[in-house]
Structure 1
Amino acid sequence: MVKNRPTQVPESQFIKLIYYWSHPTIQSISEKKKKHQEQQKFSHRMGPINFGRVRVALRTTKETNEEPKRFEMFLATRTSRKRKEVDQETQDAIDEFQNRQAAGETDEEAFESLFGKEQPGRVRYYGRSITRRNLKKHAEISKLKQQHQEEVTSLKAELGDMKAKQQHQEADLHGLRNMIKLLVQRSKPGMRPEEIEALLQDAQHSPIDANSAHGSTHIPNINMDNSEYANED
């Protein structure tokens, strides 16, 4: 076996490696892993890339930034980075999943029918250290965030309505002032614009009489001949 040594590996290290591989314990571990690998189906094509990174990348492609479903993760991790066709076994699983969906099963029901229920511990396609408890907590946090966002959106809508009403009232007030100015100018053509404006300002800040308190919209008849501006022609 030494003759098969790679040229870049020193002979002394290669001999130690041969002894290591030949050890009964290592041989037993190797056989177990070999059998386990033979039993595996749908091998992923992500190499050293963590599934958590794949999940984040899929989440950013969604408008609502929602978590990708497990079968979406299955497709993403079983498709090569060069976007080549999946193997026949994986394609059969995809077809079966779509058939179950067409038959009325939900995504989770179809997924568990194909791959079985989750075992205690981490959840498939979520990366290491993710458990059902983590997912439940994440779902609760996401729900609270969504409720908060809905409340913020509702408050913004109410604020927008209030601003629109205020602008409408200001427009009505502006129109009313212009109408009063026009009436005053017609009844007293010689009055200067600044004098009319002063008259309106004075009327705006004067105490409201009893008729106004009852919501009367009657404009009092102002005798312009008796006003203080009558002698300024």
Structure 2
Amino acid sequence: MKRIILAAAAAILPALCANAATIVMEDFESYADDAALAGVWSLGDGSLDNVLANPGQSLYHPGTGASFSGGNTNSISFAEVAPGPGEKLIFSADIYDNGASANKRTTAGLRKAAGANIIELGMYNSPAHYAYRSILFGPGDPSWVAFSNIVDDDGMPIDNEPIAGWHRFSAVISETNIDFSLDLNADGVINATASVAIAPVDPGFDIIRLGGPSDLSSGGGGVNIDNVSLVRTPEPNAIGLALVLGSCGVLRRRKAA
């Protein structure tokens, strides 16, 4: 089944990605040092890591810092974007879990800087462990929710507990839904999904933040984050949404390899 999924992705993703509008596509490979990183991902306590990455370089955020209890998040701003009719925003990031603690609070967040519309992907300790968050979209916002019914790459159920490795978290945002997915080991096999119905008054986003959500501290330590992407794409019709999450970045890395 894994080979079938990946083969299907290879066949259809080039056309889909060609029609996607890239808002952010960040693999952290272009930065010579932390000063160069800070020139793009501003105000953060994160730093470049050229040892642990997926592959090359990644951003390491310690989960603590001098300015806030959780440390300043690293952020990047862009012109406000929102999914139009028949469109989707696909937000994705690879996050490394060292498997040592379920007390991590470290995420990749897509937001509107004015305070409305927050989507977070990553690790949270209440509920633990791999989780997603969506708030300020209207009635019924769930805030933090742990991924449930997680299965391993062979389809066997597993607990929502720390698993060492790079994991891809994704959110597909339409005018009416946010579809979340978790890809353990970032290998193209989706291990858990969830969907949240939304009715946003203002559907826009204009900033990505990496680190502690709302600058919260992470008692379980920091994380590495790589391959952060935000693209706007036409409705992918019958293509499984979980198949395409984060894949434009994967294709780009393979072509550059």
Point out the structure with the larger strand share. 2
Task: Establish whether TM, by shorter chain, passes 0.5.
Answer: no
TM-score interval, normalised by the smaller of the two chains: under 0.3
TM-score by length of 2: 0.19
Answer with 1 or 2: which has the greater Rg. Answer: 1
